[in-house]
Amino acid sequence: MGKVTGLEGVVAAETEIALVDGERGHLIYRGHWAKDLAVNYSFEETAYLLWYGSLPDDRGLSALQDRLRQGRTLPDSLKRLLDALPKTLPMMSVLQVSVAALPDDSAASWPPIVSQAERLTAMMPSIIAYRYRTLLGLQPVEPDPGLDHAANYLYMLTGKVPNPDHARALAAYLVLGMEHGMNASTFSGRVTLSTQTNLYTAVSAAIGTMSGPLHGGAPSEVIAMMEEIGSQERAEPWLRGVLEKGGRLMGFGHRIYKTKDPRAEALRIVTQRLTGGDPSFELALYVEELATRLLQEYKPGRRLYTNVEFFAAAIMTAIQLPTELFTPTFTAARVVGWTAHMLEQSTHNRIFRPQSVYTGPMPVFGD
């Protein structure tokens, strides 16, 4: 068998968790369209689906919501660790250290258990918010048990109960960020867990992988583009100017999806429902329609459609999320998918041990 650079196209595992089909534009979570989940279901319901294999009934959902609420509060030992970390340490490194250091009597257990996944998911937004506010010299905000997962995250960041439309849009983004097949960080987490280490160590490894700029991308470039466009009146001349120079429109096209990105389709529906006069949403909807038409004019046959980062940019702008929190926030969503994969890995575990092709010199053999 010849070498395959980056393992592209190599099947590393069988999974019941998700299907990513770029040619058809399909993203499926355990038999459900991800875009339908993002539009019609909550963060908590979708997390339950990925962990337990089916959507919850009312009793199951209520129980999970209670466990997530209870898990939001940071232990004092973790707060002391966060306070002691260097202020220059990037937030992704803070997350990696914090997750690895979480005190838990079951942390050394094998196999991992779903309560650990729930605890990590509940606590990660609290870690981000606590660190963010203390770096700004602000008093950390304790979680509000009356708010759902997405709304509470915004509340802990700002100290204000968020606009319901903004919380709903963020929840949809988090649902779509939960899972995306055997990506680099998911693979990293499964490889680490396959050594029979604990779930916290494996998630810490996945966070380290996500922190690389080729993986944990953020919609910063899309936000910069939309800020330059500024208004609907400026949109067409700005877009034509870029296309006539052979430039690239940020937020259009995707390495995997050769047709419409289902995550972008879902976020479009959410923003259409929640515009409520929000200029970020309204401009995004206008620019998407215009840019898609202009791309067909300037680059016929290229099949360039909006990707998830395009509408994510509108959401991040509307909720005023600082750019340094984009990738950490994405990570707080993806932890659900990571832990689902790790739980699955543990049920039929075999340590990953791929081969490599030696290309160095050979020793000189005697006559």
Provide the annotated active-site residues.
Answer: 254, 309
N-term to C-term CA, the chain:
32
In angstroms, the CA 118 to CA 360 distance is: 46
Relative orientation angle of helices 149-158 and 114-135, to the nearest 10 degrees? 20
Is the previous residue joined to 237 through a cis bond, with omega within 30 degrees of 0?
no
In angstroms, the CA 126 to CA 99 distance is: 12
What tokens appear for 199 in the block?
């779930």
Cβ 220 vs Cβ 274: under 8 Å: no
Looking at this protein, which amino acid is placed at residue 301? G
User: How, if at all, do strands 18-21 and 26-29 pair?
Assistant: antiparallel
Please give the full DSSP string across 248-272, using - where no structure is assigned.
--TTB--SS-SS--HHHHHHHHHHH
Residue 278, classed as helix, strand or coil, is: coil
